Amino acid sequence: MRDVRLAAVQLQVTDDVTANLDRALSWVREAMANGADIIALPENYAGISANGALPPCIADPQRVEECPAVAPFLAATRDFHGLLLLGGQPIDAGSGRHANAMLALQRGAVVARYDKIHRFHATMPDGDLLTEIDTTAPGARPVVVDWEGVRLGLGICYDLRFPEHYRCLARADAHILLAPSAFTFPTGAAHWQLLLRARAVENQAFMLAPAQDGAHAPGRESWGHSAIIGPWGDVMAQRAHGEGLVTAVATAGELARVRTALPALEHCVLGPETSADIITLTGDASSP
């Protein structure tokens, strides 16, 4: 790895796609002007519809580059040597479903794609059911992007709750883990930073987590708190609420220091093929 300047864009999108994309593009250009090497937009950066409605700007899989939510960012990166990660772009998957895809852009081209594997399905405290199961097709495999020796492990929102996903990325020697998200307000308040720090610590990697913030549409409100977390679990930078940039420098020295001082990744002996022994107790537990 080498030193890279990270930028997470926090957005508060609505169903006004044009306005959302204009603001997102403005923040991306500001991050570029400030010297960012890796810039990440949150999940649903083009817009969030009311609960149950289809997302806006579902791209044709054969012409993703022409999608109105992708084309302006391709143009903006034409002379950009770094990477821009579009945190969640719906792409038609057939049969009335779509993939929730993260697209990596460089020099005006889509250079990598990751489809979200874990789909959110939960009942909120107010009784609303939020589900991706019926409308979103699951991705098949995790993805690591190697950019000139800097390895980025890709994940989206609900993936964050599955340590196996990020451990798979760590086994591929990911240095920076991604979690662009639209965490709901109640789940974010309870678990967002806890999960980010846990994934960073257990995988000894930087965490880049751009988030949606605030009210979007009826029944949809996000927690915000975009953050960059260090491999020791320290919060390097964070924005609680409001649109804007969160920036920090991820250094090769800090990554090496943490992995050398406590080489836990080298000590892990349980692989995904390991199963637990189940010991079933019989008889009266209260007897002597």
Which pLDDT score is estimated for 137? 94
> Among candidates 154, 157, 158, which has minimal Cα distance to 166?
154
Q: pLDDT band for 197, please (50, 70, 90 cuts).
A: very high
**Is residue 186 exposed (0-12), middle (13-18) or buried (19+ Cβ within 10 Å)?**
middle
Gap between the Cα atoms of 90 and 40, Å rounded: 16
Higher-confidence position of 32 and 128: 32
End-to-end CA distance of the chain: 59
Residue 267's SS3 state is helix
CATH code given to domain 4-267: 3.60.110.10
Cβ 182 vs Cβ 222: under 8 Å? yes
Gap between the Cα atoms of 267 and 269, Å rounded: 6
> Among candidates 111, 61, 62, 51, which has minimal Cα distance to 86?
111
What is the average per-residue pLDDT within 257-277? 92
The residue ranges of every structural domain in the chain are 4-267
Look up 157 and say whether it is catalytic.
Answer: yes
User: Which among 67, 116, 168, 221 is annotated as catalytic?
Assistant: 116
> Among candidates 252, 237, 239, 191, which has minimal Cα distance to 212?
239
Structure tokens at 183: 């965490």
> Among candidates 57, 42, 120, which has minimal Cα distance to 87?
42
Gap between the Cα atoms of 139 and 119, Å rounded: 9
Beta bridge partners, 89, equal: 101
Beta bridge partners, 131, equal: 121
Gap between the Cα atoms of 137 and 91, Å rounded: 10
Which pLDDT tens digit goes with each residue over 59-115? 999 999 999 999 999 999 999 999 999 999 999 999 989 999 999 999 999 999 999
- Nearest 5 degrees, angle CA 177-CA 181-CA 186? 125
Cβ 74 vs Cβ 59: under 8 Å? no
Look up 57 and say whether it is catalytic.
Answer: no
User: Which among 43, 132, 221, 254 is annotated as catalytic?
Assistant: 43
Q: Percent of the chain scored above 70 by pLDDT? A: 94
Higher-confidence position of 15 and 167: 167
Q: pLDDT band for 247, please (50, 70, 90 cuts).
A: very high
Higher-confidence position of 14 and 130: 14
Q: pLDDT band for 49, please (50, 70, 90 cuts).
A: confident
Cβ 20 vs Cβ 14: under 8 Å? yes
Q: pLDDT band for 126, please (50, 70, 90 cuts).
A: low
Look up 266 and say whether it is catalytic.
Answer: no
Q: What is the mean pLDDT of the chain?
A: 93
Which pLDDT tens digit goes with each residue over 213-234? 999 988 789 999 999 999 999 9
pLDDT at 190 over 90: yes
Give 274's DSSP letter.
-
User: Which among 157, 168, 221, 254 is annotated as catalytic?
Assistant: 157
